[in-house]
Structure 1
Amino acid sequence: MIEANGFSLIGIYGGTFDPVHYGHLRVAEELVEVLQLDHLRFLPAHHPRLRNAPVVASHHRVAMLRQAIHGNVRFSMDERELKRPGETYSVESLRELRQAYGEHETLALCFILGADAFVKLPDWYCWRELFELCHLVVVNRPGHALLSDPSCLPLALRNICQERWAAHADALKKISSGLVYVAPTTLLNISSTRIRTLMASGKSARYLLPERVLDYINMHNFYAGGK
């Protein structure tokens, strides 16, 4: 039986977090509220197959993320992808999470990804299986606004999403997986790439990321020359 208020939702937020910044954190905070998530798990990637290798080693990125989410009881860390050798596949993590939670009749996973990653979904390993394991929650990124015109999507993705668009967040509580929801979140023009570039040139990245994270970066002299 499904509870009267529908499925409980768990957010899964993947990324390299190299470094984590206020853009990541604000999205996470708003999604907890917009989706009424019971919890949100950050899922740092070791080496995503379709992206360049992270600049900073995995254990340091985890340490920065821990500093960033310290004190927020609704956030937690999931390090499973860092324990796997080689490239990272999101579908493997979602399979494991689905199994770990068991065939819980009242729980649904919400996999959070940026619009830039979503449009490349057909390049992902076993990407169609994602719709069987979770809902996809898409957030806009600076320079990658979505989805006023779904015709901009690759044909294979457009076809599979045709009957899956959720107009409202409440729809995610009515079914265990398979929907796509474009979440209305604050679009902060902050990126990890921009922070690394600033710090490499000796410029300040203060107020783009938590002070605790910046202190950790400076202590270890990451991204060379930061303030």
Structure 2
Amino acid sequence: MHVIYGGTFDPVHHGHLRLAIELCDRLEVDHVSLVPCHIPPHRGDTGASASQRLQLLELAVRGEPRLHIDDRELRRAGASYTADTLRQLRQELGPDHPLVMVVGTDAFAGFDRWREWESIPELAHIVVVRRPGPALNPEGIPARLLTKRRVEDVASLRNGAAGCVLELDPPLLDISATGIRERIAAGRSPRYLVPDSVWEQIRQQGLYGACPEGNF
């Protein structure tokens, strides 16, 4: 089973990394592929360039064999669309290999606004990670899709290549990339929210408004 976990990782933090490890354990896979997006179609510009975000991600996963980086979206020109990535992976994996994409409930709530969203369940299984916040609108398309395709266990994902939706409720660290960027811009330390190697590189490059000469 091939599992991908995408996002801007702007910057990558311990919440991302801890969730990825939890996914390895819960889904019983050897590794999870982290897929940083190039140009996110549903938000503004990132606070760091694609190459900078990739460099931070590489530093963050160094020494952890269960976390792999798949940079295909950074190598592809234009906005990053999930359907394109899944279609490419499906060609590589073949028609019968289980492919899983991971998304939080906050992002899944707007699933019907994604480009070619109808094709996504035909290309991959979807794992929805429950996050704090409002529940899905029961009358909305995402909630109806969840009801229609819901499965209750990981074994169901292994029994087919695509088409199922599994909800997971792993322990989450209450850390946000937005909060980290705001903290850095305000001159406050994000240490222990991000790996030390990531924070050091952010300081060296002056990313997110960091002062390279700061003492924290």
After TM superposition, the score normalised by the length of structure 1 is: 0.88
Q: Distance in 2 between matches of 1:145 and 1:219?
A: 38
The one-letter amino acid of 1:65's match is L
Does the CA-based 8 Å contact 1:115-1:145 persist in structure 2?
Answer: no
Correspondence for 1:19: 11
Q: Distance in 1 between matches of 2:103 and 2:113?
A: 14
Distance 1:166 1:127, change over 3 A: same
Q: Distance in 2 between matches of 1:186 and 1:158?
A: 22
Does the CA-based 8 Å contact 1:10-1:38 persist in structure 2?
Answer: no
2:193 pairs with one of 208, 219, 222: 208
Which digits, 9 at most, give the CA deviation of each residue in 1:1-49, with x for residues without a partner?
xxxxxxxx11101000000001000100001010012321111001111
Q: Distance in 2 between matches of 1:145 and 1:188?
A: 18
Deviation at 1:140, TM superposition (A): 2.6
1:167 pairs with one of 145, 152, 155: 152
Deviation at 1:145, TM superposition (A): 5.8
1:137 matched to 2:137? The reply is: no
User: Could you say what secondary structure the match of 1:43 adopts?
Assistant: strand
Residue ranges of structure 2 left out of the alignment (5+ in a row): none
The one-letter amino acid of 1:53's match is D
- What is the aligned residue count? 212
Correspondence for 1:128: 118
The one-letter amino acid of 1:95's match is R
Deviation at 1:153, TM superposition (A): 4.5
1:29 matched to 2:14? The reply is: no
Does the CA-based 8 Å contact 2:108-2:142 persist in structure 1?
Answer: no
Alignment RMSD = 1.5
The one-letter amino acid of 1:27's match is L
Does the CA-based 8 Å contact 1:119-1:154 persist in structure 2?
Answer: no
- Worse overlay, 16-25 or 166-175: 166-175
User: Could you say what secondary structure the match of 2:151 adopts?
Assistant: coil
1:70 matched to 2:62? The reply is: yes
Distance 1:76 1:154, change over 3 A: farther
Does the CA-based 8 Å contact 2:105-2:128 persist in structure 1?
Answer: yes
User: Could you say what secondary structure the match of 2:203 adopts?
Assistant: helix
Residue ranges of structure 1 left out of the alignment (5+ in a row): 1-8
Deviation at 1:79, TM superposition (A): 1.1
User: Could you say what secondary structure the match of 1:94 adopts?
Assistant: helix
1:98 pairs with one of 75, 90, 95: 90
Q: Distance in 2 between matches of 1:216 and 1:224?
A: 13
After TM superposition, the score normalised by the length of structure 2 is: 0.92
The one-letter amino acid of 2:169's match is P
1:86 matched to 2:71? The reply is: no
Q: Distance in 2 between matches of 1:77 and 1:96?
A: 16
1:148-159 paired onto structure 2 within 5 Å: 152-153=137-138, 155-159=140-144
Following TM superposition, the consecutive aligned residue runs of length 4 or more in structure 1 with deviations greater than 4 angstroms are: none
Which digits, 9 at most, give the CA deviation of each residue in 1:107-159, with x for residues without a partner?
21110111111000000000011101111111133x4365xxx5x24522233
Does the CA-based 8 Å contact 1:119-1:153 persist in structure 2?
Answer: no
Deviation at 1:175, TM superposition (A): 1.9
The one-letter amino acid of 1:55's match is G
Deviation at 1:84, TM superposition (A): 2.0
